[in-house]
Amino acid sequence: MARKFFVGGNFKMNGTIESIKGIVKNLNDAKLDPNTEVVIAPPALYLLLVREHLKNGIEVAAQNVFDKPNGAFTGEISVSQLKDSGINWTILGHSERRTILGESDKVVASKTKFATEGGISVIWCCGESLEDREAGKTIEVIEKQLAAVSPKIGDWKKVVIAYEPIWAIGTGKVATVQQAQEVHAAIRKWLKANVSETVAAETRILYGGSVNGKNCKELAKEEDIDGFLVGGASLKPEFVDIINASQ
């Protein structure tokens, strides 16, 4: 079964009411590849604004979700609140959450379990630092991240994996097509050996790390690259070109 191409847009802590309405209008008016699944993740403050104005067929993701039910957790958003608001996706394990906010593999795994069991789909991120890459530890680091989350996932249909080399996020540096494909293939090999052949064949693995309108088509041709998680370029008109990269 062919894996449906997937493009996520992570706005991070960017945007205003005016600019985000502009991004939404651009997506609503654009001719998007019907064979690509599109999910955009605005800051939490704008989730409802985006959901109310975005056309049907494009989903909205939170950039984080908590691993406890509603309660005394100041500043957090619950799975049930996302569902109540028509938000069906969340990004978890992004390198900025792991490195800046200190989220461990264990915390990310717990959030992934809570989200998927509560009916929210997850863009689960993994990736290595420049030090790891230069020490030849890329695969080792990612396998450790996979090993932490894998036992917590009951339904892999609710998970999309995003490989994001930390050294290529927002730096303008991009892993070569070969580097990206090698890691994607290694992730799929790990899933086959440690989860199942079916999960390995069906799970979509995205590349994230300074993807733009110029490099997306070449990356999209690779066998194990099933789409992108886009940062800065998701705020620009070229996001449409990235969505249409596999055409």
pLDDT attached to residue 172: 78
Domain carrying residue 20: 5-66+74-243
Structural tokens at position 113: 């379990």
**Cβ pair 65, 33 in contact under 8 A:** no
**Cβ pair 156, 195 in contact under 8 A:** yes
Output the domain CATH number for residue 30. 3.20.20.70
Which amino acid would we find at residue 200?
A
Count of domains in the chain? Answer: 1
- 143 noted as active-site residue: no
CB-based contacts of 21: which residues, under 8 Å, 6+ apart? 49, 53
Q: Of 96, 103, 164, 184, which residue is the catalytic one?
A: 164
**Cβ pair 233, 242 in contact under 8 A:** yes
**Cβ pair 207, 184 in contact under 8 A:** yes
Q: Of 94, 96, 143, 184, which residue is the catalytic one?
A: 94
3-state secondary structure the chain: CCCCEEEEEECCCCCCHHHHHHHHHHHHHCCCCCCEEEEEECCHHHHHHHHHHCCCCEEEEECCCCCCCCCCCCCCCCHHHHHHCCCCEEEECCHHHHHCCCCCHHHHHHHHHHHHHCCCEEEEEECCCHHHHHCCCHHHHHHHHHHHHHHHCCCHHHEEEEECCHHHCCCCCCCCHHHHHHHHHHHHHHHHHHCCHHHHHHCCEEECCCCCCCCHHHHHCCCCCCEEEECHHHHCCCHHHHHCCCC
Per-residue pLDDT of the chain (247 residues; tens, 9 = 90+): 689 999 999 999 999 999 999 999 999 999 999 999 999 999 999 999 999 999 999 999 999 999 999 999 999 999 999 999 999 999 999 999 999 999 999 999 999 999 999 999 999 999 999 899 999 999 999 999 999 999 999 999 999 999 999 988 877 777 899 999 999 999 999 999 999 999 999 999 999 988 999 999 999 999 999 999 999 999 999 999 999 999 9
- 184 noted as active-site residue: no
